[in-house]
Structure 1
Amino acid sequence: MKRVGIWVNQDVVMSSVTGVMDFFTFCNKYWQLIQQSDQQLFETVLMGPQQRLQQGPFTIEVEPVDVNQIDMLLIPGFYAYNSNDLQRVSQELLPYKAELQQMLQQGKWLGAFCNGTFALAGTGLLNGLQSTSVWFFKDYFRQMFPQVKLDLQQLVVQQQTILTGGATTSYLNLCLRFVELFMDTAFAQQMAKIMLTDPNRTSQLPYLSLQLAPQHKDAKLAEIQQYLQAHLAEPVSLEQLAETFAITPRTLIRRFKQHLDETPMAYLQRLRIERAKSLLENTLWTAEEIMQQVGYEDISSFRKLFVHYTSLTPKAYRQKFMFEPQINCCPVSDPERESAA
């Protein structure tokens, strides 16, 4: 039996804790069903610096951190959504760095998902390794942990005996990976079906959005961003953009890199793809019609660019994200009609 420790503190996202606990309980129940036995594959235990936590209606009993008693320590997500909060999270595990190093030396596993990856990266144990993290905090992550090779294309990244996962519900795919490593692929596939989880959900790229881009106080840059947003369908060059706003191309590039971590033309390209995504989600326009609305002329080039940014074709993206009204999904009963019948 594998014992999985789940790190908890006062700011932990409760669903990311109970979700992990439920996942491994389902594994046990399914195993007992097919084996007709009482054997358990996994046991979960809550560990952290406090003995008892109170969060809303929940009171949580917490054990002291003891890495000798577990085979894996999993760091979930926390309610931390700005630079100061993430800095605090990054210090969370520092007092336990020696114990975590000991786990890795013994071949035990460490896992983190959502902004719990900030806590793990803060120990330095991810330095020189690949890791994924929360896509909408990617700029914070790169600034805080330049020695970590951030890879947002993957939903789960394995490096040695360390697993990192992307935002929010990526814990399902991270736990599936651990189950596959501990059991086998067939068992993990069956658990994916039981949990209604797509085992082939391997990338965060389809979910990336500019709506959660970093904020800044550069008024001129904000004006340029608004201009680009309003001229997506028109040809725009770096030189023309600089001339329009009476600044040099070099200064323009510098300000974009400083505040948005990309060049003006790369930013424009992402704006166009974001607009294309929105049109795919909210209209029935063809890919060719959408292409023209966002400033492209060649459908083949547009499709390749769209796949590069989202890992999906335009058609696949629409199928995945377009909301379709579910007619008669929840019929309301009519008392008068029922009584008449």
Structure 2
Amino acid sequence: MKHISILIPEGHTSITNIEGTHQIFSEVNECFVRVGRPPLFDIKLVGINPNASQRNGVYTIKPDHLIGEVSKTDLIIIPAMLGDLENALKLNAAFIPWVVKQYMQGAELASFCVGAFFLAATGLLDGKQCATHWRFANQFRQQYPNARLVDDKIMTEDRGIYTSGGAYSYTNLLLYLVEKHAGREIAVLIAKTFMIDIDRYSQSPFIMFKGQKEHEDDLIIKAQEFIEKNFQEKITVDQLADMLALGRRSLERRFKKATSNTVTEYIQRVKMEAAKKELETSRKTVSELMYEIGYSDTKAFRSTFKKITGLSPIEYRNKYNKESIVLS
């Protein structure tokens, strides 16, 4: 029987992550019992205090065990720690040496959404691929530059460490773990029981690009604002460099450091965000909106759009604009 430790952090935590994990793994056990097999998982809530107050005292969770009582576990689930992330790390610092010790003893680790910030604070994500909510991607990169964050994936696996992207994508990671430990047949049954879209791996269709401006490089902010106001035009790196009185290499280096995008990537993402909004709200043809955002090459536009969103323009419109007539 595999021992699963669901962490019960202090402070503002995703109770949904905790209850959803417990419910899905418990249902796996029920599936095994119904066919005369012993339960697969020994599921425990593990905390650092006997009573964990949540949502400013609205809820209290009583862990089954405190970390000092669990000498060995097989899988640790780290739910999203919400609110002030820096404060959440301070409140839950006592978990860190225990999590590191368990990983060194062979335990697998799985973090959900912004739980990746806590996992990264252990140092165990250094050099490993990981995911978090797309809204916090730039902040994560700035705080943990040694982790290999990927923007588009709903989940990652790297040397026994699993992470999921934003919000309810944690259910996709849970299905992945169920399939790994209980088999494909059980995973499909769980997916149908909880009506979860199985084999969904990308969060690209859900990303809303806001422009990363949580930095202190005023010249780069000026460049970003120019791009965002003039994205319909053809903007070159040399043009921006001349406007800012910077060398091209200096601009590219500072832009990448500040935004985690190259200048060209940033221009593309601003253009694609404009295209997405048109697809969501208008009945313009793909050709019409393509020209509006400064593209003249249909193949290049479609290729860039799919690279950023994971969907073709028509697929994106069908997903988010049910009222429109699908036009090509």
TM interval, short-chain normalised? 0.7 to 0.9
8 Å contact kept, 1:121–1:145: yes
The 3 A distance-change label for structure 1 pair 129 and 223 is closer
Give the drift of 1:113: 1.4
Cα distance between partner residues in 2 of 1:283 and 1:76: 38
Cα distance between partner residues in 2 of 1:212 and 1:191: 38
8 Å contact kept, 1:93–1:122: no
Q: What residue is the counterpart of 1:136 in the other structure?
A: 135
Q: What residue is the counterpart of 1:7 in the other structure?
A: 7
Q: What residue is the counterpart of 1:68 in the other structure?
A: 71
Alignment of 1:205 with 2:211, yes or no, is no
Please, which moves more after superposition, 214-223 or 16-25?
214-223
Alignment of 1:26-65 (within 5 A): 26-33=27-34, 35=35, 37=36, 39-55=38-54, 56-62=57-63, 63-65=65-67
Q: What residue is the counterpart of 1:328 in the other structure?
A: none
8 Å contact kept, 1:5–1:74: yes
Give the drift of 1:249: 4.5
Is there any run of 5+ residues in structure 2 with no aligned partner, and where? none
Cα distance between partner residues in 1 of 2:16 and 2:242: 51
Q: What residue is the counterpart of 2:99 in the other structure?
A: 100
Give the drift of 1:296: 0.5
Task: Provide Cα deviations, 1:275-324, integer angstroms capped at 9, x if missing partner.
Answer: 11111111222221221111111111111111111222112222223355
2:109 is paired with a residue of what secondary structure?
strand
Amino acid at match of 1:4: I
Please, which moves more after superposition, 135-144 or 213-222?
213-222
Cα distance between partner residues in 2 of 1:217 and 1:323: 41
Please, which moves more after superposition, 193-202 or 224-233?
224-233
Q: What residue is the counterpart of 1:232 in the other structure?
A: 231
Q: Give the length in aligned residue pairs.
A: 319
Which structure has the larger Rg?
A: 1
The 3 A distance-change label for structure 1 pair 315 and 158 is same
Alignment of 1:291 with 2:277, yes or no, is no
Give the drift of 1:39: 4.4
Q: How does the TM-score come out when normalised to structure 2? A: 0.86
Alignment of 1:101-120 (within 5 A): 101-120=100-119
Please, which moves more after superposition, 295-304 or 37-46?
37-46
Q: What residue is the counterpart of 1:16 in the other structure?
A: 17
Task: Provide Cα deviations, 1:101-152, integer angstroms capped at 9, x if missing partner.
Answer: 4433443221111111111111111222222222222222222222222223
Cα distance between partner residues in 2 of 1:221 and 1:161: 38
Cα distance between partner residues in 1 of 2:204 and 2:91: 28
Q: How does the TM-score come out when normalised to structure 1? A: 0.83
2:71 is paired with a residue of what secondary structure?
helix
Q: What residue is the counterpart of 1:337 in the other structure?
A: none
Cα distance between partner residues in 2 of 1:131 and 1:305: 23
Cα distance between partner residues in 2 of 1:212 and 1:189: 38
8 Å contact kept, 2:132–2:164: yes
Alignment of 1:273 with 2:275, yes or no, is no
Amino acid at match of 2:23: D
8 Å contact kept, 1:136–1:212: no
2:157 is paired with a residue of what secondary structure?
strand
